[in-house]
Structure 1
Amino acid sequence: MPVMRDIFALMEKYGHEQVVFCRHEGTGLKAIIGIHDTTMGPALGGCRMIPYESTDEALEDVLRLSRGMTFKCGVADVDFGGGKMVIIGDPVSDKSPEMFRAIGRFVGGLGGRFFTGTDMGTMPEDFVHAKRESNHFVGLPKEHGGSGDTSIPTALGVLQGMRATAKFLWGTESLEGRVVSIQGVGKVGGRLLDLLMEEGARAVIADINEERVHQLKEKYGDRVELSTVTDIHRVEVDIFSPCARGGVVNDTSIDELRCQAIVGSANNQLQEDRHGDELHERGILYAPDYLVNAGGLIQVADELEGYNEERVLAKTRAIYEMLLQIYERSRQENIGTHRAADRLVLERLEKVADIRRIMLGWNGR
């Protein structure tokens, strides 16, 4: 008989407030919602759909991702906490409108503690169905009242991270002539490649979709070279940009890296915090992923407050200055950049928690 994991011990390990398991037999829905911390406000985070090999794998993913969202919200200075939802299933064969309507019921049942939208394996159109059941969804298509494609500010935020990294390492924010390897050229990675080409950079790209990489190679010619998803981190480049799944910096890959910096959109790029410490010791500059990929979060958070595109882009561009602050703190305190970013967020959470001890007034209940 398999041994059941102690869910409360895992919640304590990652610091979670709430974990919700959702099942609906009629649609085949099996999902987990993780609400990490609501000090700053309601939990906010995407909903991804992956054919996880086990419930344990899905649980571990939702806990790590929702914790990361707390830090992302904190560093992006939006009044939301960290949450995430994962669906166990194949997004190609298992997805249905009815499944997302069931999701709408489950998320709505949380009474506003959690807002979600598109992530890996889900599309904005999926949540049009979910929103028929409750109003706790963001990032819908513009024709359905949403703010549209979140990959646009996300890619811009990563580019701003690369500019700040270039400024810190080489004294100029220009990326002209720099070589960047992109692992994953989907929604965000593909847009990032377009931006890098406009900047005059060169690129090495890899994706599980071989047709996609060959299309991009044909589009950009000699300025783009091809690699494989498993080998691209070994290519000698100025900046390595993970833009697919997390955990790419691990015990195996860390010895194989041949880059001066890591700046990408993937969540949880460090398999463990100690890998960030090792990068610091090796002199590889790491841009904390939850900061540089925060553009999409900034957009959907703004959507909940009344969407303004210029405000979103301005806040996304500010990732540049924030990252330079983190790099400088890392240098001054001789700690990994991930720890410098974490300290900044925890300090903000403490200040907000202290402010919110002040009662606004009696509401009659």
Structure 2
Amino acid sequence: MSIFEHSEFDNHEHVAFCRDKRSGLSAIIAIHNTGLGVSLGGCRMWPYKSSEDALHDVLRLSKGMTYKAAMAGLKQGGGKAVIIGDPSTEKTPEMMAAMGKFIDSLSGNYISAEDSGMTVIDLKLIEKTTSYVAGTHAKYHLDNNSTDGNPAPSTAYGVFVGLKASVDYALGQELKDTSILIEGLGQVGMRLAAHLYKSGAKLYVTDINQVNIEKAVQAYDAVAVTIEEAHSLNVDVYAPCALGATLNENTINELKVRVVAGAANNQLEKEEFGEILMTKGIIYAPDYVINAGGVIDIYHQSIVSSKQKLKEHIEAIEQTLIEIYRRSKAESKATNLIANKIAEERFGK
């Protein structure tokens, strides 16, 4: 199959592949759209089962970044990078250096940031062989967070703000009266749990890493559940914070929640599943809208700004979601379709 006929191609401007035998690097960079500016997106390292899975993921993720930037009001385009491999066992400084050279070969059309399986330390290694890296240094930060360049605190805060607004809109209640399932307790999911715990929410948690579950149980009085039983829990909110496509044919039929609002990218396996959620009476916070806090953070590090302006920009996620919900109700269209329409008007699809 030609890449141009790939189901997720969606008129990408540039897709590049790299195989560096010396370092073991196998990577793909996808640039979706630069109508609003140079493409920016995280670099993810994951043990994909096949190169086809990696390609599928990077195409979906880069497209999502275009829509995310547009909905967040940023003057930048969407791109993404993936490295095929287990970050816990296969990552080396030599591989990071090779990734930097790969990024550099695109002459600044793609700027890389942090994503799953990668850290600020990894980005600093990549930065040794390219200048096209963002998120390694920070001038502004949210309260009580260090200026180390990690956008996860801002992503988590944005999801918290959006989730709270979604609960108020859909249920008309405060978080202290709300039960929430968090699926995925990585850098963002764990921080989201902290915000929700401080607001009095009742938390249920699941993760592929048992250590993360135990931490959340101890620190945030959470109830641990298995991944198999998670989607059928009788709770108010499902917050997917792991990898994408957790809203699929199997899980959607199991959901008993009233709200879906989480940090994961590409939560809907297929766009039409947004319509199914609507018919079930479930309010869905489009992922690239609610999880935009991180890319907003990175953007503010590149302009003259302040901690207060950064926080206010992230908090604007609330009003964006409310606008989407109101238009969805008025036009009888799924929230993801409403968000897509607004974003496409902005970046000129």
Structure-2-length-normalised TM-score: 0.94
Look up the match of 2:332: 334
Describe how 1:39-188 pairs up with structure 2 within 5 A.
39-140=35-136, 148-172=149-173, 174-188=174-188
Residue range with higher mean Cα deviation, 104-113 or 118-127 = 104-113
Unaligned runs of 5+ in 1: 354-365
Q: Distance in 1 between matches of 2:219 and 2:188?
A: 17
Letter in 1 for 2:111: F
Shift, 1:307, TM fit: 5.9
**Letter matched to residue 163 of structure 2:** M
Q: Which residue in the other structure is 1:7 paired with? A: 3
- Return the letter of the residue paired with 1:136: Y
Q: Would the aligned equivalents of 1:147 and 1:300 in 2 still touch at CA under 8 Å? A: no
Distance, in Å, in 2 between the alignment partners of 1:294 and 1:31 is 24
Aligned to 1:195: 195
Residues 15 and 239 of structure 1, relative CA distance in 2, 3 Å threshold: same
The separation in 1 between residues aligned to 2:154 and 2:163, in whole angstroms, is: 14
Question: Match of 1:200, as an amino acid?
Answer: G
Q: CA deviation at 1:10?
A: 2.2
CA contact (8 A) 2:179 2:203 kept: yes
Give distance in 2, aligned partners of 1:166 and 1:51: 35
Distance 1:257 1:273, change over 3 A: same
Match of 1:228 in 2: 226
User: Structure 1 108/307 Cα, relative in aligned 2: closer, same or farther at 3 Å?
Assistant: farther
Deviation at 1:332, TM superposition (A): 0.6
Per the alignment, in what secondary structure is the counterpart of residue 113 of structure 2?
Answer: coil
2:287 — aligned with what? Answer: 289
Does 132-141 or 89-98 show the bigger shift? 132-141
Cα RMSD between the aligned structures?
1.7
Identity of aligned pairs, percent? 38
Q: Deviations over 1:259-297 (max 9, x none)?
A: 001000000000000111110111111000001100001
The equivalent residue for 1:359 is none
Q: Distance in 2 between matches of 1:12 and 1:148?
A: 31
State how far apart, in whole Å, the 1-side matches of 2:215 and 2:3 are. Answer: 45
Deviation at 1:228, TM superposition (A): 1.4
The letter of the residue matching 1:188 is V
1:231 to partner: Cα distance: 2.0
What secondary structure, in the 3-state scheme, does the structure 2 residue paired with 1:176 have? helix
Q: Read off the aligned partner of 1:241 and give its amino acid letter.
A: A
User: 1:215 corresponds to which residue?
Assistant: 215
How many Å apart are 1:146 and its aligned residue?
7.2
State whether residues 139 and 146 of structure 1, in contact with CA within 8 Å, keep that contact through their aligned partners in structure 2: no
Q: Is the 8 A contact 1:147 1:303 kept in 2?
A: no
The aligned counterpart of 1:247 is 245
- Aligned partner letter, 1:30: S
SS at match of 2:181: strand
State the Cα distance separating 1:304 from its structure 2 match. 2.6
Q: What is the one-letter code of the residue matched to 1:106?
A: F
Residues 67 and 22 (structure 1), Cα distance of their counterparts in 2 relative to 1, 3 Å cut:
same
Count of residue correspondences:
343
Amino acid at match of 2:194: D
**In 2, distance between residues paired with 1:274 and 1:258?**
19
Q: Where do 5+ consecutive residues of structure 2 fail to align? A: 140-145
CA offset digits 1:191-218 (Å, max 9, x no partner): 0011001111111001111122122212
1:21 aligns with 2:22: no
How far the C-alpha of 1:167 sits from its partner, in A, is 2.2
